[in-house]
């Protein structure tokens, strides 16, 4: 097995990486489309498709607005699909609807145990999500790991959003590491592209989100069933 001893920090995506995507977000995304379509069933279908749901198999496409975009991205996708709304008001409404994901959130593993093991290896930990900063903070608090994370940001934290490299640079600056000492862990092209352009030392794809093994295999250094496998790899 390759030696990953140069890795001193791990930056995680949230949705689809720490949180099982379809089990957590599937119902919430569909409810959001239903609510904002105001009873127009055909519009609701268009919004789901625009957001990224493949209605033929009822799964979310990788790197769609739902899968890897911000609330603003979803709002703009909805409006492009024919929803008439004020953009700012729609973003506020969607943020309120998306906050309901905490009721359905399913972590992919015992995050307190997992993060505790990584901290035990001397690693700095961060979470960078295209969700809002408030959404990230609420998620970490719900699963009791806020105190185990050194750096946590959302799309509205002032670092830009993925696949831009601002979030990665923010993490490196906060914990005092070079990008080459960081592993980027995520389930989408946006995550892996931020890592590639930013020059991380390891890009790790996980299959608990919207990316398939074939898709992630082409853009990551390694691909894991879920994040829990990371501890064993970084111990070697």
Q: Which residues contact 19 (CB under 8 A, 6 or more apart)?
A: 25, 105, 106, 107, 108, 139, 208
| pLDDT of the residue at 230 | 96
The single residue listed with the structure tokens 């879920």 is 226
Instruction: Indicate where the chain has its CATH 3.40.50.1000 domain(s).
Output: 9-20+107-235
The alpha carbon of residue 200 and the mean position of all alpha carbons in its chain are separated, in whole angstroms, by 17
Distance CA 3, CA 58 (A): 39
Mark out the alpha helices in the chain (DSSP H runs).
21-36, 41-51, 65-68, 71-80, 87-98, 101-104, 111-120, 133-142, 166-175, 189-198, 213-217, 230-235
| Beta strands at 124-128 and 9-12: parallel, antiparallel or unpaired | parallel
Distance CA 200, CA 193 (A): 10
Residue 10's SS3 state is: strand
pTM higher than the cut 0.85: yes
Inter-residue contact 15 to 21 (CB < 8 Å): yes
Q: How many C-beta neighbours within 10 Å does residue 85 have?
A: 15
| pLDDT of the residue at 24 | 92
Longest Cα–Cα distance in the chain: 55
| pLDDT of the residue at 177 | 98
CATH class in words for 9-20+107-235: alpha beta
The single residue listed with the structure tokens 């490299």 is 165
List per-residue pLDDT tens for the chain, 236 residues long: 458 889 999 999 999 999 999 999 999 999 999 999 999 999 999 999 999 999 998 889 988 999 888 899 999 999 999 999 999 999 999 999 998 888 889 999 999 999 999 999 999 999 999 998 999 999 999 999 999 999 999 999 999 999 999 999 999 999 999 999 999 999 999 999 999 999 999 999 999 999 899 999 999 999 999 999 999 999 86
| pLDDT of the residue at 2 | 55
| pLDDT of the residue at 90 | 98
């Amino acid at each position: 097995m390759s030696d990953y001893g140069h890795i001193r920090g791990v930056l995680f995506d949230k949705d689809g990486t720490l949180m099982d995507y379809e089990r957590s977000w599937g119902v919430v995304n569909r409810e959001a489309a239903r609510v904002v379509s105001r009873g127009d069933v055909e519009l609701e279908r268009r919004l789901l498709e625009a957001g990224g749901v493949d209605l033929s198999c009822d799964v979310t496409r990788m790197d769609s607005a739902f899968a890897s975009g911000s609330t603003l991205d979803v709002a703009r996708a909805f409006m492009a699909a024919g929803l008439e709304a004020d953009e700012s008001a729609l973003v506020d409404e969607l943020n309120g609807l998306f906050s309901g994901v905490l009721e359905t959130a399913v972590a992919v593993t015992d995050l307190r145990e997992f993060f505790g093991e990584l901290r035990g290896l001397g690693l700095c930990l961060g979470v960078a999500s295209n969700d809002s900063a408030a959404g990230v903070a609420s998620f970490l608090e719900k699963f009791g790991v806020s105190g185990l994370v050194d750096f946590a940001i959302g799309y509205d934290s002032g670092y830009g959003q993925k696949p831009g490299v601002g979030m990665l640079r923010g993490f490196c600056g906060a914990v005092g590491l070079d990008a080459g000492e960081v592993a980027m862990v995520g389930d989408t092209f946006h995550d892996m592209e931020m890592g590639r352009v930013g020059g991380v030392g390891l890009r790790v794809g996980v299959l608990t989100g919207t990316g398939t093994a074939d898709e992630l295999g082409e853009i990551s250094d390694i691909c894991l069933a879920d994040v829990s496998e990371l501890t064993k790899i970084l111990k070697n």
